[in-house]
Structure 1
Amino acid sequence: MTQTVSKWAWNDTGRPFPYVLMYHSVAVYRSDPYLVTVDPRRFDRQLAWLRRNGLRGVSMRELMQARRVGDARGLVGLTFDDGYADFVHNVQPALLRHGCTATVFVIAGRMGGHNVWDADGPRKRLMTADEVREVSGAGLEVGSHGMLHQQMSYLDDEELLSEVAESRESLREITGADIGGFCYPYGDVDLRVMNTVEAAGYDYACAIWRSPLSGRHALPRTYVGDRDGSLRLLAKRLRHELTIKR
């Protein structure tokens, strides 16, 4: 029997999905073939736009907790995939300036390495274990992006369990905090993968906007890039609001 999940409502509460933005890297750049980099000045203006419009970017942990008690009005999830080192140098100070928080999804088995999965892109350094510990200690949420940034649906059961469970335990040992969130590399999720993530004890998991599944463990997110100024941010916000009311 095929499991179906309501596309734009929580499968556990019936309420619309929260608005969650998906970032990757925030850095000055020359080449960005995968469109994963936002210039720090643009990022600062994007956060300012949120605040001007009565919105505040928060971690997924904070957003989920607020929704549980019915107090999430004006909150927007801010997520950063891959755990780039520029999160420490460029993202964290900007969040502090604008009174925001965020979640960074770290690749547990590649800390201190580089984005080797982006074959044609510029090399970007990933946070070290010490930097991950620093981010967590500053009150920002650290979530798991797996062990090695692999496409989850291609893995056998043993490999999948390693990506999901071992990465959580590794990050828990480094941060000394519970790791409640998972993010699917490439947005690759099917029912087996989603069930494995849920069974591993994660409170939630993040997917992408056009995910084949949705629910607490496959939350849709809105991509944000360097071209997203005020008008594009407004259009994406309106798209979310219109879509979840269908």
Structure 2
Amino acid sequence: MNDATRAGAVPVLMYHSIGGSDRLAVRPEAFAEQMACLKERGYTPLPFGERTRPAVRPVVITFDDGYADFHEHALPVLERYGFAATLFVTTGWLHDAGPRAAGAPPGRMLTWRQTAEVAAAGVEIGAHGHSHAQLDQLGEEALREELRRSRGLLEERLGRPVRTMAYPYGYSSARVRREVHACGYTAACAVANAVMTGRHDRFAVPRLTVRAATSLDGFERALEGRGFRTDHALTKGYAVVRRSRYAARRLRGVA
């Protein structure tokens, strides 16, 4: 029995750019085909914050970072099918972040106005950190600031509560997850490349990475919980390495 056939199993898809040029960017045509596939197969897309709501063949569609091409290419397709989705925004990367800008964004990003339009269209907005920092490598004060600043800015500018988040790079730890909970979030996304089931921690919900190289057949297999075993093992192994790095940084007084 694969993960997708278990009771309460929900595939949570992770996208980044729709139309960019890196390995995680999905072509607009491929994205449209994938959404058509969901429609044809009778899936019911839910916002991440409602991922456990009873539905016929539930699926969650998420997007990280806040690329401008979400507004241009993804949103029209989602609206065409009436699909719910969740966009996790890195607030310091927004095009008009101004004096609150943080770090170098990976591409052309949304403006605050576009982010508000996305929210008004019914897309759930979640946080993705302020500077896209590796949260599991931050000290306590910096971690708390990263989590609270992103959520605070989104709530202030959009005028609506923000209760969910996704870890930048998918990196977290038990310490990070405790702080996420303490900061008032109700759930958070990791990566892990597995289908979500009832056994998963709500602060480490696994997602399935959709890449530039993901074929339509590969997309269909991912929905069924197949084809990601190697990635999952590598992700778990790397978590051990990152915990060791953070411990070493603390000993040196860096974190």
Residue 60 (1) aligns with residue 48 (2): yes
How far, CA to CA, are the matches of 2:111 and 2:73 in structure 1?
Answer: 16
The amino acid of 2:119's aligned partner reads S
Deviation at 1:95, TM superposition (A): 0.2
Distance 1:210 1:98 in 2: 25
Of 183-192 and 201-210, deviating more is 201-210
SS of the residue aligned with 1:132? Answer: helix
Q: How far apart, in 2, do the equivalents of 1:56 and 1:141 lie?
A: 15
Q: Which residue of 1 aligns with 2:116?
A: 133
Q: 1:56, 1:241 → 2: CA distance?
A: 22
Contact 1:17 1:219 (8 Å CA) reproduced: no
Question: In structure 2, what is the equivalent of residue 204 of structure 1?
Answer: 187
Is the 8 Å Cα contact of residues 115 and 124 (structure 1) preserved in structure 2?
no
What amino acid is the match of 2:73? N
- Aligned partner of 1:218 in structure 2 is 204
Q: 1:156 aligns with which of 121, 126, 139?
A: 139
2:26 aligns with 38
Paired residue type of 1:54: G
Quote the residue 2:12 is aligned against. Answer: 20
Aligned partner letter, 1:95: L
Secondary structure in 1 matching 2:225: helix
Structure 1: where are the runs of 5+ without partners? Answer: 1-7, 9-14
Return the TM-score normalized by structure 2: 0.77
Are the structure 2 counterparts of residues 83 and 73 from structure 1 closer, same or farther at C-alpha, using a change threshold of 3 Å?
same
Distance 1:209 1:16, change over 3 A: farther
- By percentage of residues, which structure has more helix? 2
d(CA) in 2 for partners of 1:146, 1:87? 18
**2:224 aligned with 1:238, yes or no?**
yes
How many residue pairs get aligned? The number is 217
Alpha-carbon contact 1:115-1:126 (below 8 Å) kept: no
Is residue 38 of structure 2 the alignment partner of residue 50 of structure 1? yes
- The CA distance in 1 between the partners of 2:118 and 2:228, in whole Å, is 35
Post-superposition CA distance 1:168-222 (Å, at most 9, x none): 11100111111011100011100010010011111110000259x9510110000
Question: What whole-Å deviation, never above 9, does each CA across 1:117-166 have from its counterpart, x for those lacking one?
Answer: 67xxxx51111111111111111111000010010011010110011112
The 8 Å contact of residues 135 and 168 in structure 2, kept in 1 or not, is answered as yes
Match of 2:168 among 165, 179, 185: 185
Deviation at 1:75, TM superposition (A): 1.6
Deviation at 1:230, TM superposition (A): 2.9
Identical counterparts, % of pairs: 35
TM-score, length-normalised on structure 1? 0.80
Structure 2 residues without counterparts, runs of 5 or longer: 230-255
Contact 2:222 2:228 in 1 (8 A): no
C-alpha deviation, 1:18, in angstroms: 2.4
Match of 2:244 in 1: none
Whichever residue aligns with residue 48 of structure 1, its letter is: A
